Structure 1
Amino acid sequence: MDFSKFSYEVIHRKIKYSRLEFTSGRLQVILPQGQSEIPLLTKYQKWIESKYNYINQCKGDAKNLTLQERTDSDFKYLIQKLVNRISDELQVKINKFFFRKMKTKWASISSHNNITFNTIMSKLPEELMEYIVYHEVVHILERKHNNKFWDIIRKRYEEPSKHESQLLAYWFAMSSC
């Protein structure tokens, strides 16, 4: 395989196992000290090509997106409304929720059931904001992204991959601003 057609970064760390990560559309090859990236890239060639194609599709979709404009107070009110409705629906309790700018995530949930929302979510359509809130609240029922988690998500969203693709496209749209 000609790896020169793919942009990637090699990072050597004090780790035991190699891994591949796509961070904001860029491939990172994370390796134990002194290990070559070629065997890993060769082994996962088809997966890498598939991911690059997916990312490029989302980047193309990003060019046609319109970002929403909301005031900070409108955004926070909408999130509060969504959190209350979805937590009631799933019969779970959210401890607190916060807002801050994050570099790599739309939102995250702590072990204490506190949710932090990325402030750039304010530029998303309400439907995608609702998906993110639902996704995070489901993590109270199932912490990991395993089959049980995705089964719960699919009860409300038949094809979560469509929402995930839209979110990635919006991420690229916002990154280019």
Structure 2
Amino acid sequence: MRCDIDYKKIYRNVKYPRLEFKTGDLVLILSEDHNPEEIIEKHKSWIYKKKDFIRRSLEASKDKKIFDRTEKEFRELVYSIVEGFSEDMSLEFNKIY
């Protein structure tokens, strides 16, 4: 069983192994007695889907612009959006943190 997926292994005293994506890179957190190849093979479909999701998200965000707002401007924007939703749904909100 040969794996064509690049990954980093971190060995810890864990009961259950887990897979994580850190800044787009696959990280396996597992105990010494777990075989990383078996875990990758078992979750290969999830890994490919997640990797593709990250790639598509990065591609979609490539041309997005980040607005430079003060905290006060941002809070006013959020408040107006929440106010609109609360009116549409006939709900009241107490406070936005």
Aligned pair count reads 95
Find the aligned partners of 1:36 and 1:66 in 2 and give their Cα distance: 43
Question: Aligned partners of 2:23 and 2:38: how far apart in 1?
Answer: 24
Shift of 1:12: 2.2
Deviation track 1:43-100 (CA, whole Å, cap 9, x = no partner) reads 1112212221221122222222222232221111112333444456374655551xxx
Q: Which residue of 2 aligns with 1:28?
A: 27
Bigger helix share: 1
TM norm structure 2: 0.71
Distance in 1, matches of 2:37 and 2:58, equals 27
Distance in 1, matches of 2:13 and 2:83, equals: 43
Secondary structure of 1:67's counterpart equals coil
Inter-CA distance 14–94: structure 2 relative to 1 (3 Å threshold): farther
Q: Which has the larger radius of gyration?
A: 2
TM-score (norm 1): 0.44
Contact 1:14 1:32 in 2 (8 A): yes
Unpaired runs of 5+ residues, structure 2, are none
